[in-house]
Amino acid sequence: MESPSRHWRTKDQRYRLLGEKCLNCGKGIFPPRDVCPHCAEETKAKNPEAQVPYQFSGKGKVYSHSTIYDAPPEGFEKYVPYTVALVMLEEGPMLTAQLTDITRKISGGVTQLFNVEGEPVDIGTQVEMVTRVLSEDGPKGIINYGHKFRPLLKRQT
């Protein structure tokens, strides 16, 4: 579990999905880091200004997903079951986030996901980022916000 202070420092980044774009190879980077993961170690040395802030669209596709029914990380007990997806953003980077606005049905031991219109949600489904409460910690009720992704509905795609 991340500490509240860490959340405070990364709040802006998490809230706005602000990453970086590599001016060397043009690819999006999320979360921001010192070295572009696409064009490797030497980029930073050759061009220290190679990475500029970049606002991601917040749209992407489900790359994989899994639903947690028990033994969640500390602090997440009251949220089970929940579904975590690896989302590939339109701009390329992948990130892990919870899916929201979905329902689950277990069939033959396999979790099937559906959007609010009852359409299946699976690998390849288009999703968009929304900002939601991730967890509320402690007696002072520190609330951690973060990104979750919800399926785009038919009328939006």
Only one of the segments 38-46, 79-87, 119-127, 149-157 lies at the binding site for Zn ion (rule: CB under 5 A); that segment is 38-46
Residue 100 found at the interface with Zn ion (CB under 5 A):
no
- CA gap 148, 128 in Å, rounded: 8
Cβ pair 130, 149 in contact under 8 A:
yes
Q: Which of 36, 102, 113, 121 binds Zn ion (CB under 5 A)?
A: 36
Only one of the segments 32-40, 64-72, 118-126, 149-157 lies at the binding site for Zn ion (rule: CB under 5 A); that segment is 32-40
Side chain identity at 75, as an amino acid letter? G
Who's near 85: CB < 8 A, 6+ residues apart?
A: 62, 63, 64, 65, 66, 96, 97, 98, 99, 127, 149
Question: For residues 24 and 126, which CB has a smaller minimum distance to Zn ion in the complex?
Answer: 24
Question: For residues 22 and 97, which CB has a smaller minimum distance to Zn ion in the complex?
Answer: 22
Q: Which of 3, 15, 25, 57 binds Zn ion (CB under 5 A)?
A: 25
